[in-house]
């Protein structure tokens, strides 16, 4: 196993919430104000996901006082306490950047209802491959 994979396994979260592009989510984010810390909600629509493993991030967009605000949240960050899906959106694209040009009711997405909406089982981090023992000539032992 590579050193990077070992570090990712140790520092990453064991389970991630099941989030898809198009979902309306509440991101519970820990912010620091002076000496105090509190959890602030960022409520919006997931318009993009990128990366994999410990580098996985989601981009959430919301409208504040008529102005669009986007934030990128690392999924494995200790500052992200929880991501709650409030509504499942049906999309046919992996990135919803076209929502940036839309205003008002045109930004709404069709809601997923019924059996397709039952995707709530938590996503677990993939198990890394077994470490090489060095007994086989084809296996490489890396440290």
What pTM value is reported for the model? 0.74
Total Cβ atoms within 10 A of residue 50 = 12
Give the per-residue pLDDT at 40: 95
Domain boundaries, the chain: 22-101
| Inter-residue contact 27 to 83 (CB < 8 Å) | yes
H-helix or E-strand spanning residue 82 = strand 80-87
User: Does CATH number 2.30.30.790 belong to domain 22-101?
Assistant: yes
Calpha distance 73→32 (Å, rounded): 16
CA angle 85–57–68, rounded 5-degree value:
70
Residue-wise pLDDT tens digits, 87-142: 999 999 999 999 999 888 888 888 888 766 665 555 566 666 666 666 665 555 55
């Amino acid at each position: 196993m590579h050193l990077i994979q070992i570090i990712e396994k140790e520092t990453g979260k064991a389970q991630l919430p099941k989030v898809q592009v198009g979902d309306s989510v509440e991101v519970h984010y820990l912010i620091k104000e002076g000496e105090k810390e509190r959890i602030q909600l960022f409520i919006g629509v997931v318009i993009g996901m990128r990366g994999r493993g410990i580098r996985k991030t989601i981009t959430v967009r919301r409208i504040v006082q008529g102005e669009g605000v986007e934030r990128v949240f690392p999924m494995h960050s200790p500052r992200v306490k929880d991501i709650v899906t409030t509504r499942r959106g049906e999309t046919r694209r992996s990135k919803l950047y076209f929502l940036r040009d839309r205003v008002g009711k045109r930004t709404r997405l069709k809601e997923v209802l019924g059996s397709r909406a039952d995707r709530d089982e938590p996503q677990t981090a993939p198990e890394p491959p077994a470490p090489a023992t060095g007994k086989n000539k084809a296996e490489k032992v890396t440290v």
